[in-house]
């Protein structure tokens, strides 16, 4: 699915559903980070009008997701915990070439963003299929569709503006890099854990 090399072990869902307050808190902050990341891309690349237009919409959707998760947290009598670090994303961040020109940096950041969407989408799909809670199953199914659209948006802009760069080669490198990282995960009640 979405060209990822490694699929998550379905037993991860048992861990996730054993502590719903924790997974929902972690998930809420994932949505916040996704919104923040989209705004960072806009800030760094403001001259690309179509990119700014689409990423403003995407950032709004991520904030809406954040609100939806928070609404579920409130409805169930939980409280949104403090921001959780995302060590998977922090490890993935190391892939980005920080010394290149602006265009290379933009393409790398778009591919990095596409990868997080792809993995989140894979996790949401698994949750929607395996979680016993019917409300959360529907919720994760809807989010899976939305995050798949975000993946397409990020990859699309990387291809559109990265014509001088071998984007497919860079994407393949990232897919391999990610598959090494994700091997260590799938063992805790966080979205990328």
Enumerate binding residues for Fe ion (CB under 5 A): 31, 34, 62, 65, 117, 147, 150
Indicate the residue among 62 and 108 with the shorter CB distance to Fe ion.
62
Provide, rounded to whole angstroms, the least separation between the CB of residue 64 and Fe ion: 8
Provide, rounded to whole angstroms, the least separation between the CB of residue 166 and Fe ion: 26
Indicate the residue among 37 and 165 with the shorter CB distance to Fe ion.
37
Q: Give the containing element (helix H, strand E) for 39.
A: helix 20-44
Distance CA 167, CA 145 (A): 24
Closest to 90 in 3D by CA, of 187, 185, 188, 154: 185
In three-state secondary structure terms, 77 is coil
Indicate the residue among 22 and 117 with the shorter CB distance to Fe ion.
117
Closest to 9 in 3D by CA, of 183, 190, 145: 183
Provide, rounded to whole angstroms, the least separation between the CB of residue 62 and Fe ion: 5
- The Cα-based distances of 129 to 49, 78, 119, 122, 139 in angstroms read 38, 24, 16, 11, 11
- Contact between residue 51 and residue 157 where contact means Cβ atoms under 8 Å apart: yes
Indicate the residue among 118 and 131 with the shorter CB distance to Fe ion.
118
Burial, 1: exposed, middle or buried (Cβ in 10 Å; 0-12, 13-18, 19+)? exposed
Provide, rounded to whole angstroms, the least separation between the CB of residue 101 and Fe ion: 27
Provide, rounded to whole angstroms, the least separation between the CB of residue 72 and Fe ion: 14
Structure tokens at 127: 């949750």
Indicate the residue among 30 and 181 with the shorter CB distance to Fe ion.
30
Provide, rounded to whole angstroms, the least separation between the CB of residue 77 and Fe ion: 24
- The Cα-based distances of 17 to 5, 67, 75, 123, 133 in angstroms read 25, 20, 17, 13, 8
Indicate the residue among 150 and 192 with the shorter CB distance to Fe ion.
150
């Amino acid at each position: 699915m979405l060209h990822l090399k490694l699929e998550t072990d379905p037993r991860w869902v048992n861990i996730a559903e054993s502590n719903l307050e924790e997974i929902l808190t972690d998930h809420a902050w994932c949505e916040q980070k996704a919104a923040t990341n989209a705004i960072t891309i806009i800030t760094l690349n403001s001259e690309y009008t179509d990119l700014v237009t689409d990423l403003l919409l995407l950032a709004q959707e991520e904030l809406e997701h954040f609100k939806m998760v928070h609404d579920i947290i409130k409805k169930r009598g939980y409280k949104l915990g403090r921001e959780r670090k995302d060590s998977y994303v922090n490890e993935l961040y190391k892939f980005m070439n920080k010394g290149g020109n602006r265009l290379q940096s933009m393409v790398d950041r778009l591919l990095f963003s596409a990868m997080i969407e792809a993995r989140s989408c894979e996790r949401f799909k698994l949750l929607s299929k395996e979680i016993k809670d019917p409300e959360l199953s529907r919720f994760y199914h809807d989010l899976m569709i939305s995050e798949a659209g975000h993946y397409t948006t990020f990859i699309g802009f990387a291809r559109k503006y990265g014509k001088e760069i071998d984007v497919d080669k860079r994407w393949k490198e990232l897919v391999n890099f990610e598959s090494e990282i994700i091997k260590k995960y799938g063992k805790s009640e966080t979205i990328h854990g």
